[in-house]
């Protein structure tokens, strides 16, 4: 199985978190809701990857790190990939978002609303890793 290191970044503003609906152009989990996410490139720290992905996927430049969860593994048998997920939580001051080609919709929701959406695998577990409810 392939091992791929990724970041999952929850962007929060005034008690709501940003979820993005993945486009048909992305490599995995098309049409699913997820947080800002992306691969950790060679020579890049997880935090550097997280900050880069927020800028690229949302256009947001000003954010503050609130929490960094412990990395954990999720095995997707269907895809033949072991995802090593590095969860993060950032706070922003406003909800203005400019999504890129990777997404078709952006939605600010309460964390509980995430449970009713068709999300990428392990999104709720990633949220729990960085939420204040731990």
The domain in which residue 77 lies consists of 2-130
Q: Which residues, at least 6 apart from 16, have a Cβ–Cβ distance to it below 8 Å? A: 95, 108, 109, 110
Residue 134: predicted pLDDT = 44
Q: How many domains does the chain have?
A: 1
Rounded to an integer, the average pLDDT of 105-132 is: 95
> The domain spanning residue 23 has which CATH number?
3.90.79.10
Q: Are 123 and 113 in contact (CB under 8 A)?
A: no
pLDDT of 56 higher than 50 = yes
Task: Give the per-residue pLDDT at 133.
Answer: 53
Q: Which of 71, 48, 51 is nearest to 122 (CA)?
A: 71
């Amino acid at each position: 199985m392939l091992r791929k290191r990724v970041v999952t970044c929850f962007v929060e503003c005034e008690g709501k978190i940003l979820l993005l609906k993945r486009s048909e152009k992305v490599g995995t989990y098309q049409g699913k809701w997820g947080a800002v996410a992306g691969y950790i490139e060679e020579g890049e720290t997880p935090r550097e990857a997280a900050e880069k992905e927020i800028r690229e996927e949302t256009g947001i430049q000003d954010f503050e790190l609130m929490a960094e969860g412990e990395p954990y593994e999720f095995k997707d048998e269907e895809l033949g990939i072991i995802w090593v997920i590095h969860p993060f939580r950032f706070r922003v001051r406003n909800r203005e978002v400019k999504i890129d080609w990777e997404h078709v919709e952006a939605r600010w929701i309460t964390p509980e609303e995430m449970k009713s959406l068709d999300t990428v695998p392990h999104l709720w577990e990633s949220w729990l890793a960085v939420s204040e409810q731990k």
